[in-house]
Amino acid sequence: MAKRMVCRVADVPENGLKECEADGGLKLVVANAGGEFFAFQAICPHQEVPLCEGMFDGSTLTCHMHLWQWDVRTGAPLGIAEAPLERYPLVREGDALYLGSEPTALDVGELFSGLAPATLEKLASLARREEHAAGAAIYQRGDPADDFLILESGRVEFQIGRDPAGFMLKKGEIFGWAALLENHPQRIASARALEKSVVLRFNGKQALAVLESDPASGYVVMRRLSGLIARFFVVAGAK
Amino acid sequence: MRVQVNARNRAFHFEADNGEKILYAGLRAQAGLPYECATGTCGTCKARLVDGDIDDGWPHAPGRKHLKPERGEFLMCQCAARGDVSIEVASFVYPADPGACRVGARAGTLGTPRALTHDVVAVDVELDAPCEFEAGQFMAVNAPGVPGMRGYSMVNFDQPARRLEFVVKKKPGGGFSEWLFSGKPAGARIQMVGPLGKATFHPGLAKNILCIAGGSGIAGMMSILARAKAADYFSKNKVHVFFGVRTMRDVFFLDELAAYPKADITVALSEEDPPANARLRFERGLVHEVAKRAMAGKYRDVRAYLAGPPPAVDAAIRVLLLDARLTADNIRYDKFS
């Protein structure tokens, strides 16, 4: 595939932001952090506000509308932000910036983003890619819970227990996380593709073995996982 | 009518009355739906219609510029359900804090407006039934014959309140303010929904307070000051207030502010030099710049409240985030545009 130019280096002011359209029509916001460049989705995941209108101090990107904030190096949410930014790797050649390879669901996912590269690579090697047609059940309550899944593209609805209202999942979000827990051999929820969707399937035991070999990453993952589970069940006293 | 809201984390079900805006019905039923201005300008209460029909009470609402109508998006603060509806909001929604003041429809009778400056009045509404609210909150207010609602912050603080005091600035083309400034509105019946707004102050906070207000944005700060005084908050915490107006002709509430000698109060005049021999401290400059100069080195353990014209609020946010390095949860404001 042809190289896709994003912008000239000189277009992005030092410690500033610039909205750019990469060749082929992908809108990005590019941040210049002291001469290092980072690119993200151009629009805030909260209320569709252009992030180029936000504030940037060289390390933290803030949407001016409701003060959601992200770490510019990773796109990880900070403070009151509820969702990460999708990051697009950039490659610098001369005085221009080009799109690097597109981030995978593993890179942008809320569970594994920012882990040690060697660990991410091992996890990626465990992934099996599956495609589900619109309406297809990915798993049902009572099914064995050996694997967890990460949504790569499409839309998946995730329902816990008998609650008729599902959670709508987006790219990078994990479901079937019972596979990472002890003593949860069966699904307590069901998951269904709402449109044609691609998911990455991981065996829970294999993934845990990788995390045990890198306990620092494993600790980060377990912290994130417990926060994620709490989000599904804790309702009152949000702030 | 039955409304189902599918949020990102769970669903809410509630009843809406005939013609009742979906946002107000949801808040009344203790669903913490997203909103800020609640009156059609900010776009925060955007939702997507999944099933059923709605009536849009204000098809030209400025907040609609944030919508993609082809995707079925609408503003919950402007639309009422025509029958049972199912809608989707993109954010996480939690039930309202059980200790929070209940949102509901309120009614009352307007008192006689009192001129504060050439273009600002204070006005009271005697409530039909007492109402609880937090310092810093506002009501969506409707006057007879004026379409739509407008948000006004309460100036007073009483628990519960039988009377609400508001500050209204005359705004050309502003339906409610033009109605208030023309003719004799005293005695008119006023319909309200509230209390609304998350920029609330409670003495349990136990942090130093920084209020930065432009023009009529001082209203909510007066409520915060009254609440703080009632709780003897000044004896343990610092309270800084910066009140920005253009000239001495535009300033008001000087006696009311002087009644808080334990608070550190500064009036910023953007377009003329400060007067000599004033009871309060005056500085020349835009309010966020005056606050930035005065607060340097004093941001430890600070919660900030901001109100006023949107450009002034944005400028203050910039100072507090980028210079003062306050965390986002310690910067409170309700945006009205």
Question: What is the tens place of the pLDDT at every residue in A204-238?
Answer: 999 999 999 999 999 999 999 998 888 777 653 34
Compute the nearest-CA separation of B73 from chain A (Å).
Answer: 12
Q: Taking Cα atoms as reference points, which of B86, B85, B9 lies closest to residue A157?
A: B9
pTM: 0.75
- Record: contact A235-B321, CB cut-off 8 A: no
User: Mind giving me the DSSP string for B289-322?
Assistant: HHHHHHHTT--TTEEEEEESSHHHHHHHHHIIII
Q: Strand B331-332 relative to strand A174-175: parallel, antiparallel, unpaired?
A: unpaired
Cα dist. B31→A31, B104, B221, B240 in Å? 37, 12, 27, 34
Measure the CA–CA gap between A127 and A104, rounded to whole angstroms.
11
Mean pLDDT of chain B: 92
What tokens does B148 get?
């739509």
Residue A238: per-residue pLDDT: 40
Coil, helix or strand at residue B41? coil
- Beta carbons of B177 and B216 less than 8 angstroms apart: no
Residue B99: per-residue pLDDT: 83
Measure the CA–CA gap between A13 and A181, rounded to whole angstroms.
46
Compute the nearest-CA separation of B12 from chain A (Å).
Answer: 9
- Record: contact A69-B328, CB cut-off 8 A: yes
Measure the CA–CA gap between B124 and B166, rounded to whole angstroms.
6
Environment class of A28 (CB within 10 Å of its CB; exposed 0-12, middle 13-18, buried 19+): buried
What tokens does A111 get?
């569970």
Report DSSP state, residue B17.
Answer: -
What percent of chain A lies above the pLDDT cut of 70?
Answer: 91
pLDDT above 90 (res B19): yes
What percent of chain B lies above the pLDDT cut of 70?
Answer: 99
Environment class of B122 (CB within 10 Å of its CB; exposed 0-12, middle 13-18, buried 19+): buried
A161 contacts chain B (CB < 8 A): no
Mutate to test the interface with B, among A167, A229, A231, A233 (most CBs of B within 10 A): A167
This complex has an ipTM of: 0.70
Q: Taking Cα atoms as reference points, which of A184, A189, A186 lies closest to residue A162?
A: A189
Cα dist. B255→B58, B258, B275, B278 in Å? 40, 5, 16, 11
Partners of residue A87 on adjacent β-strands: A40
- Record: contact A62-B46, CB cut-off 8 A: no
- Search chain B and give the residue with CA nearest A238: B94
Average pLDDT score over residue span B50-75: 90
